[in-house]
């Protein structure tokens, strides 16, 4: 079916809203919120296994995933345990494996490997990654691939940070860039306009994440404020 918009309101602190989405065929699925409320979104499969979550820095979550036919669940909550407010939930789907523009980008994580396909002449796939520290972001397509890929790294406003064609070897792109905390987009396309074929996108991150530690319901916490934690590391409070 076509896109849907559902108006809702988080009326009480700690309230979660749940929605079901059923797809008859494999599709690219995009769920996101709009409004002034700082929302946090989760996407689950039919067995309630989490597929993705998002709390993008602009206050609205945005999840895009390629999924098989079946039933999926979306849960929406306020990003703050004590927060309330209204929002609009948008659900969109299409037959492309990944969105063709930044607004339709598939969310990927650091350390992820994602299958993609340049399905037709001029097809371009967009991916979104949230970078939580200052460090090095690396994006590349698998050297075992046979599709001649070209990649572009963009900032949240769509400004090009870097682009590459063959640095990864075997006609695969590889981008290595030092970036600050924020949302970034990776666009993948065939090097020639007529190029089609499959690929695997890898995203790697090297940075020191910064978390904000507060005792939201009173009491105290130590250390407090901005605390740096190495990627895949831990911090005791």
Q: Which two three-digit tokens encode residue 130?
A: 């949230």
User: Could you give the domains of the chain?
Assistant: 4-94 (2.60.120.380), 102-207 (2.60.120.380)
Q: Which two three-digit tokens encode residue 164?
A: 């590459």
The pLDDT, as a whole number, for residue 55 is 85
The pLDDT, as a whole number, for residue 13 is 94
pLDDT in tens, the chain (237 residues): 568 999 999 999 999 999 999 998 888 888 999 999 999 999 999 999 999 898 875 789 988 888 888 999 999 999 999 999 999 999 988 777 888 889 888 889 999 999 998 888 888 999 999 998 889 999 999 988 889 999 999 999 999 999 999 999 999 999 999 999 899 999 999 999 889 899 999 999 988 766 667 776 667 888 777 666 665 667 777
The pLDDT, as a whole number, for residue 228 is 65
Beta bridge partners of 124: 189
Say if residues 86 and 33 touch (Cβ distance below 8 Å).
Answer: no
DSSP result, 75-128: EEEESSTT--EEEEEEEEEESSSS-SSGGGPEE--TTEEEEEEE-STT-EEEEE
Length of the chain counted residue by residue:
237
């Amino acid at each position: 079916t076509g896109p849907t918009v559902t108006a809702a309101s988080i009326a009480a602190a700690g309230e979660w809203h749940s929605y079901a989405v059923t797809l008859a065929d494999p599709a690219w699925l995009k769920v996101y919120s709009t409004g002034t409320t700082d929302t946090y979104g989760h996407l689950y499969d039919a067995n309630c296994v989490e597929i993705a979550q998002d709390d993008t820095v602009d206050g609205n979550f945005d999840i895009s995933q390629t999924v098989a036919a079946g039933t999926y669940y979306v849960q929406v909550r306020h990003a703050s345990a004590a927060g309330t407010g209204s929002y609009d939930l948008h659900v969109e789907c299409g037959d492309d494996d990944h969105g063709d523009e930044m607004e339709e980008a598939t969310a990927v994580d650091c350390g992820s490997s994602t299958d993609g396909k340049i399905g037709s002449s001029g097809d371009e796939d967009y991916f979104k990654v949230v970078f939580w520290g200052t460090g090095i972001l690396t994006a590349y397509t698998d050297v075992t691939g046979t599709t001649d890929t070209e990649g572009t790294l963009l900032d949240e406003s769509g400004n090009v940070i870097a682009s590459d064609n063959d640095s990864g070897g075997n006609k695969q792109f590889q981008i290595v860039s030092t970036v600050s905390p924020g949302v970034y987009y990776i666009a993948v396309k065939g090097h020639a306009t007529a190029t089609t074929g499959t690929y695997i996108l890898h995203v790697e991150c090297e940075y020191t994440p910064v978390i904000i530690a507060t005792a939201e319901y009173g009491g105290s916490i130590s250390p407090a404020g901005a605390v740096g934690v190495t990627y895949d590391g831990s911090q005791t409070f």
